């Protein structure tokens, strides 16, 4: 157990307040690269882990203890709300998530429903358990998918390369698209608020695949709905982070959705990204997760470049540009936390 005494480093960085060192956490920091996680997965399906608050809390907690990161993100799956809205969710080895009977018509849409009472309670219960254990020593991040990314899974039925079905629906049937994302705004807003009520001290909204869109299509068909999510959670008072990949051409527009912090991937230099986002926002990122497969000397060089690009400006949260890969050596992640802390700790 080696959780920092200082619990609000991450939250102060989210609010662009001065910090004594740059906070660090990692997307998918609780995942397959950890032997402890693989041992649990040998006994339980991914959905069992997500839907059993004690197990989700345990995974969340052993990860932050092992890595000494500055925030805990609740262990959960992005697609739980789709399941709660009536879709059948499964995880196929080597293929990732599969949602049966994807949404491609008005009839498909009619099958969706608001989550039954308590259907998503597993997540807030897990947050409660984590907060209780941490005694306020570390902030807990709640999260959900953004309307576009969640809708794309529901329309494609899983991961996608070209998002053909999603774009076809957006371009051919804008009224169905609007109906679907309106439903998602309602469900996700409620889901996120319930996570804050349970103790989440910050929220991250994952629009992981939004970089597939042209900026003008984003502006017209996605931004209004993402904005409503941030408006809905603003009264909770917790800081918000808005993440996407391949967004180098979208950053100015994403910033308009209203998050406090924009999370960027490695495909753009952090200084260039921040100037496009605007310094009234914080920035999170942005090491290439693949770099963690390199010798640590090269990892350190990459991390140093990012810290230099952040130029000690308040509001930088160190993270990867996407989730930790399964092949990552756990000691590399632990060393990286230590490296970022020691490099920035002299301020």
Nearer to a copy of itself, 213 or 238 (CB): 213
343 touching a copy of itself, by CB under 8 A:
no
Nearer to a copy of itself, 46 or 294 (CB): 294
Q: Quick check: 99 and 80 in contact, CB under 8 A?
A: no
Of 16, 21, 28, 228, which one is the catalytic site residue? 28
Q: Which of 294, 314, 330, 332 is the binder for a copy of itself (CB under 8 A)?
A: 294
Residue spans of alpha helices (H) in 202-269: 215-221, 223-233, 251-255
164 touching a copy of itself, by CB under 8 A:
yes
Least separation, in Å, of the C-beta of 255 and a copy of itself?
14
Nearer to a copy of itself, 87 or 340 (CB): 340
User: Segment contacting a copy of itself (CB under 8 A): 4-12, 86-94, 126-134, 264-272?
Assistant: 264-272
Nearer to a copy of itself, 7 or 160 (CB): 160
Whether residue 32 lies in the annotated active site: yes
Q: How far apart (Å, rounded) are the C-alpha atoms in residues 206 and 303? A: 23
Of 8, 16, 37, 153, which one is the catalytic site residue? 153
- Packing angle between helix 53-67 and helix 330-344, nearest 10 degrees? 60
Buried b (16+ CB within 10 A) or exposed e, 258-272: bbbbbbbbbebebbe
325 touching a copy of itself, by CB under 8 A:
yes
Bridge pairing between strands 240-243 and 202-206: parallel
Whether residue 16 lies in the annotated active site: no
267 touching a copy of itself, by CB under 8 A:
yes
Instruction: Kindly identify the residues of this chain, within the stretch 200-239, that bind a copy of itself according to CB under 8 A.
Output: 211-217
> Could you tell me if residue 45 is left (phi over 0), alpha (psi between -120 and 50 degrees) or otherwise beta?
beta
- First and final CA of the chain: distance in angstroms? 26
250 touching a copy of itself, by CB under 8 A:
yes
Q: Which of 293, 334, 335, 343 is the binder for a copy of itself (CB under 8 A)?
A: 293
Strand order from edge to edge, sheet including 202-206: 72-73, 140-145, 202-206, 240-243, 261-263, 282-287, 316-320
Catalytic residues: 28, 32, 41, 77, 153
């Amino acid at each position: 157990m080696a959780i920092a005494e200082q619990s609000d480093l991450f939250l102060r960085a989210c609010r662009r307040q001065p910090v004594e060192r740059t906070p660090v956490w990692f997307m998918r920091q609780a995942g397959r690269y950890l032997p402890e996680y693989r041992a649990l997965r040998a006994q339980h399906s991914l959905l069992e882990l997500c839907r059993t608050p004690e197990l989700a809390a345990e995974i969340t907690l052993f990860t932050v203890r092992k890595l000494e990161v500055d925030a805990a993100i609740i262990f959960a799956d992005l697609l739980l709300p789709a399941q709660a809205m009536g879709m059948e969710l499964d995880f196929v080895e080597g293929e990732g998530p599969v949602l049966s009977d994807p949404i491609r018509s008005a009839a498909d849409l009619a099958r969706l429903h608001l989550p039954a009472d308590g259907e998503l309670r597993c997540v807030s219960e897990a947050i409660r358990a984590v907060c209780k254990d941490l005694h306020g020593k570390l902030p807990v991040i709640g999260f959900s998918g953004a309307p576009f990314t969640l809708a794309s899974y529901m329309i494609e039925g899983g991961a996608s390369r070209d998002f053909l079905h999603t774009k076809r629906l957006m371009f051919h049937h804008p009224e169905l698209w609007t109906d679907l994302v309106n439903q998602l705004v309602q469900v996700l807003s409620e889901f996120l608020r319930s996570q804050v009520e349970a103790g989440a001290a910050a929220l991250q909204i994952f629009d992981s695949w939004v970089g597939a869109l042209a900026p003008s299509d984003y502006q017209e068909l996605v931004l209004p709905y993402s904005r409503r999510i941030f408006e809905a959670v603003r009264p909770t008072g917790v800081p918000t982070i808005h993440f996407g990949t391949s967004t180098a051409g979208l950053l100015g527009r994403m910033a308009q959705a209203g998050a406090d912090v924009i999370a960027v991937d490695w495909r753009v230099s952090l200084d260039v990204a921040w100037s496009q986002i605007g310094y009234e926002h914080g920035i999170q990122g942005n090491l290439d997760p693949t770099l963690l497969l390199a010798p640590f000397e090269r990892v350190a060089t990459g991390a140093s470049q990012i810290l230099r690009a952040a130029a000690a400006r308040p509001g930088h949260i160190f993270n990867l540009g996407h989730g930790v890969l399964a092949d990552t050596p756990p000691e590399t992640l632990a060393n990286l936390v230590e490296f970022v802390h020691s490099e920035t700790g002299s301020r």
